[in-house]
Amino acid sequence: MAKRGYHHGNLRQALVETALKLIEEKGPTGFTLSEAAKQTGVTPAAVYRHFRGREDLIAEAARQGYTIFADLIEYAYDKEQPSALASFEATGRAYLAFARKFPGHYVAMFESGISHNHSPELAAAAARALGVLERAAADLSAHIPPDRRPPASMVSAHIWALSHGVVELFSRGSPGTKSPFAPEDLLESGIGIYLRGLGLIKPDE
Amino acid sequence: MAKRGYHHGNLRQALVETALKLIEEKGPTGFTLSEAAKQTGVTPAAVYRHFRGREDLIAEAARQGYTIFADLIEYAYDKEQPSALASFEATGRAYLAFARKFPGHYVAMFESGISHNHSPELAAAAARALGVLERAAADLSAHIPPDRRPPASMVSAHIWALSHGVVELFSRGSPGTKSPFAPEDLLESGIGIYLRGLGLIKPDE
DNA sequence: TGTACATCAGTGAACGCGCGTTCACTGATGTAC
DNA sequence: TGTACATCAGTGAACGCGCGTTCACTGATGTAC
């Protein structure tokens, strides 16, 4: 119990965490400033000591999400170095692991409608995360003969889109979409086929 | 001007169309029953003559979306028969074309949080659309040697996820995500690489 | 063709609600002497 | 160590707003005779 400082101790972070919990439970729409304040045990007005308003609170949640996300995929990437292929695959797995483990952050980042340009801090955190993805793709592309090598940013866009699609359609219980496959298997097999298509995995497994 | 019938003529459909316009402009959150009614030139209470409430109106918009969607991809699929490969690729292109041409429907279907089980009609329309995707994938799978053939439903899930991811991340102006590639090119190149990975396109283009 | 009646799409007023935000304030905490 | 003061995190009441939904109604349309 870090109840030092002024009255609450660390209301700012407590609010972010309540917001994440609410976003996770009810989606970005279901989240309200008032309820976040109430569940943190504080008056709605207290929020304004720490955030400019509702949007600002969501943006901070998203920023923290991008930071965790970047750390995770960077770690996954580094751990498998110097193999470009293993690093790339680990990055994909880390993407899904993040979405599963930090659903509130994920929604705040991608479904809350918040713009990356809400604040310089958010933009920077997002840019760092995307930078890791692009680096992994660039490493990988270097192993493809230049004449049949797609741009690295295209490869990273493909994988990002595939990952995001798997999360949105099959990972969250979203609309009513069921698949007989676990999201992890779906993503892994999809990336496998894709890498084979790039000529980075031999045709015979 | 089909102003026959009672007072308005066809208020039910007019409300659906206003709702779609609002959803397209402001997202599923920005849409309100009251504003849809007002913009249709009618009292909010009038909506309840035709829909059980707000959710029911969105569900009808989604249902119409799935119907259009199914028609479009079915047509694209049929047109390229009997080539399984061409049919499959046309289906992917039709997916993106639908998302671009009917953004309101797309959002109502995939981002409104509406469940496919809201009504039997919605469930049926959605099932038909997904059926076309699965059929295209099954046709295609038949051309792969059985011992290295992934399940058709997995192939269709991959393509659906990739398509959805491209739409969400790169097609709508969403968070701040920019890509140097047009969504169409991104999807087409992604599917191309994927099909090559399945051994359905020769390695040398 | 004309009249009396039934139907029912849309009205208008009202409701209770929770929202985001503001404001002057209070009182616990930290600090200077 | 003790006291006087400054700071500022959080309070509590209030605001205006638009929401979704309800209700008894009205009056245009369709229909039976």
B26 and B74 share a domain?
no
Q: What is the pLDDT of residue A147?
A: 87
pLDDT at res. B173: 61
Say yes or no: A147 and A182 in one domain: yes
Question: What are the tokens at B123?
Answer: 């469930």
Domain annotation covers residue A205: no
Beta carbons within 8 Å of A123's beta carbon, 6+ residues apart? A116, A117, B176
Total of domains in chain A? 2
Report the distance from CA of residue A12 to the C1' of nucleotide D6 in Å, as an integer: 23
Tell me the C-alpha distance between A82 and A65, whole Å: 27
Q: Is the pLDDT of residue B176 over 80?
A: no
Interface test with A, best of B158, B179, B195 (most A CBs within 10 A): B158
pLDDT at A93 over 90: yes
pLDDT digit string, tens, across residues A48-65: 999 999 999 999 999 999
The pLDDT of residue A186: 95
Same domain? For B95 and B168 the reply is yes
User: Got the DSSP string for chain B?
Assistant: ----SSSSS-HHHHHHHHHHHHHHHHHHHH--HHHHHHHTTS-GGGGGGT-SSHHHHHHHHHHHHHHHHHHHHHHHHHHTTT-HHHHHHHHHHHHHHHHHH-HHHHHHHHTS---GGG-HHHHHHHHHHHHHHHHHHHHHHTTS-GGGPPPHHHHHHHHHHHHHHHIIIIIS--SS---SS-HHHHHHHHHHHHHHHTTSS-S--
- The more confidently predicted of residues B203 and A159 is A159
Q: Are residues B127 and B149 in the same domain?
A: yes
* Residue of A154, A186, A200 best to disrupt the B interface, most CBs of B under 10 A: A154
pLDDT at A3: 37
Residues A102 and A132 in one domain: yes
Residues 6+ apart with CB under 8 A from A102: A65, A68, A69
The torsion of the CA quartet B139, B95, B68, B61, rounded to 10 degrees, works out to 130
A64, A104: one domain: yes
Reported as type and span, the H/E element at residue A57 is helix A54-79
- What pLDDT band is residue A172 in, cutting at 50, 70 and 90? confident
A109 and A35 fall within a common domain: no
Evaluate if residue A126 carries a pLDDT over 60.
yes
Residue B203 lies in a domain: no
pLDDT in tens, B109-131: 999 988 899 999 999 999 999 99
A41 part of contact set with chain B, CB < 8 Å: no
What share of chain A in percent tops pLDDT 90? Answer: 81
Does residue B5 register a pLDDT over 60?
no
Higher local confidence (pLDDT), B21 or B82: B21
Instruction: Give the pLDDT band (50/70/90) at residue A9.
Output: confident
**Distance of alpha carbon A175 from the chain centroid:** 20
One-letter amino acid at A198 equals L
Cis peptide before B120 (omega within 30 of 0): no
B43 Cβ under 8 Å from any chain A Cβ: no
> Which ranges of B80-119 would DSSP assign to H, the alpha helix?
84-101, 103-110
Chains A, B: CB contacts within 8 A come to: 142
- Our measurement of CA B2 to C1' D24, in angstroms, reads 31
- Residues B155 and A64: their CA atoms lie apart, in Å, by 35
In a domain, A72, yes or no: yes
CATH number at A10 reads: 1.10.10
Q: Is residue A14 part of a domain?
A: yes
Give the residue-averaged pLDDT of B77-101: 94
Q: What is the pLDDT of residue B98?
A: 98
- pLDDT mean over A36-53: 95
Residue A127 belongs to some domain of the structure? yes
CA atom of A1 to C1′ atom of D1, Å: 30
Whether the predicted model's global pTM rises above the 0.75 cut:
yes
Verify that B136 and B171 share a domain, yes or no.
yes
CA dist B190 → A4, A197, B5, B93 (Å): 53, 10, 50, 12
Question: Is residue B83 less than 8 Å (CB to CB) from chain A?
Answer: no
Q: Say what the pLDDT of residue B81 is.
A: 87
Residue B7, pLDDT score? 65
B124-154 pLDDT per residue, tens: 999 999 999 999 999 999 999 998 899 999 9
What 3-state class would DSSP assign to B150? coil
Residue B22 belongs to some domain of the structure: yes
**Boundary (domain end) residue, out of B35, B51, B67:** B51
B18-66 per-position pLDDT tens digit? 999 999 999 888 899 999 999 999 999 999 999 999 999 999 999 999 9
pLDDT band, residue A30 (cuts 50/70/90): confident
Inter-residue contact A58 to A112 (CB < 8 Å)? yes
Q: Which nucleotide is nearest to B32 (CA to C1')?
A: D19
Task: Please give the Cα distance from B6 to A21 (Å, whole number).
Answer: 49
Question: DSSP H helical segments within A80-119, as ranges?
Answer: 84-101, 103-110
Average pLDDT of the residues of chain B:
90
- Cβ-based contacts of A183 with chain B (< 8 Å): none
* pLDDT above 70 coverage of chain A, percent: 92
**A2 or A85: which carries more pLDDT confidence?**
A85
Query: Helix, strand, or coil here: A48?
Result: helix
| Domain-terminating residue out of A51, A70, A87 | A51
Asked whether residue B33 falls in the same domain as residue B97, the answer is: no
pLDDT digits (tens, 9 = 90+) for B89-98: 999 999 999 9
Contacts of A124 in chain B (CB under 8 A): none
What does the pLDDT average to over A170-192? 83
Average model confidence (pLDDT) across chain A: 90
**Greater pLDDT, B51 or B7:** B51
Nucleotides of D under 7 A from a protein CB: 8-14, 18-24, 28-30
Q: Return the residue of A nearest to B28 by Cα.
A: A29
In degrees to the nearest 10, what's the CA dihedral of A64, A28, B111, B174? -50
Residue A14 belongs to domain spanning: 1-51
Mean pLDDT of B148-174: 91
What mean pLDDT comes out for the span A101-120? Answer: 93
Residue B73 shares a structural domain with residue B32: no
Nearest to B197 among A157, A176, A193 (CB): A193
Residue A69 lies in a domain: yes
User: Residue A165 corresponds to which tokens in the numbers above?
Assistant: 């699609």
Residues A31 and A72 in one domain: no
pLDDT digits over B183-197, tens only? 999 999 999 999 999
Q: How far is the CA of B29 from the C1' of D22 (A)?
A: 24
Check which CATH number belongs to the domain holding B107 and give it: 1.10.357.10
Among B28, B33, B119, CA closest to A176:
B119
A113 touches chain B (CB under 8 A): yes
Same domain, A131 and A44: no
**Distance of residue A154 Cα from the nearest chain B Cα, in angstroms:** 7
pLDDT band at A179 (very low <50, low <70, confident <90, very high): confident
Better-predicted residue by pLDDT, A142 or A5: A142
Query: Which residues fall inside 7 Å of strand D, measured at CB?
Result: A 6-9, 11, 41-46, 49-50; B 4-7, 32-35, 44-45, 47-48, 53-55
Q: With cut-offs at 50, 70 and 90, classify the pLDDT of residue A5.
A: very low
Using the beta-carbon criterion (under 8 Å), do A196 and B196 form an inter-chain contact? yes
